[in-house]
Amino acid sequence: MSETTAGSRGSSAGATEDEERALIRRIACQERDAFELLYRIYYRRLMRFLDRVMRRPQMIEEILDDTMLVVWHKATTFNGASQVSTWIFAIAYKKAMKALNRERRRVLSAVDQEEPGYAPSLETTLIDGESSSALRRLVAGLSAEQRAVVELTYFHGFAYKEIAEILECPVDTVKTRMFHARRKLRIAFSAQQE
């Protein structure tokens, strides 16, 4: 990926990588206005990413806020080895996976204890049941790890190396997840066409 593409990908609000690094330095000095600006820059991108990875609308805002809270508290630890977007998306991914694992354990615990009354809310069922497009429905059928790779590649423009940093896994793992995701999407698309 060229530097121009990577720099312009920094945000939908037009901030370059250098501007985002400057914001991180200011945030490390506890400048609230810099934090608010970075929050606005990343809000929509992170909301979309978390929505597609988690498929839990009721949890997204909380995870986004938790992510940005880490950015606020850990800005001094940003060493510049990666792009700001890679660092922030890595934090969001970790927070999302932890939340999904907590939810999974809670559900399994409820099932194991045979607690009556556990059921997803009507709102959750309706939101999960209504997809805005066929592609979104197909992508939703992938595992969270595969959705993350697809989302980061196609909707956020990250290269496999950057995705590997975000997901904290080898590049070959990213490639394998993408291979399996594409295969599943191709099969699902063919089945849908029939």
127 vs 91, more confident: 91
Q: Which two tokens stand for residue 137?
A: 């429905």
- Per cent of the chain over pLDDT 70 is 75
- pLDDT tens digits along 101-114: 887 766 555 444 44
Model pTM score: 0.62
Domains in the chain, please, with CATH? 3-193 (1.20.140.160)
55 Rama sector, left if φ>0, alpha if ψ -120 to 50, beta otherwise: left
Q: Which of 48-57, 90-99, 109-118 has the highest mean pLDDT?
A: 90-99
Contact assessment for residue 50 and residue 144, using Cβ atoms and an 8 Å cutoff = no
- Of 174, 194, 181, 178, the residue nearest 138 (C-alpha): 181
In this prediction, residue 99 carries a pLDDT of 87
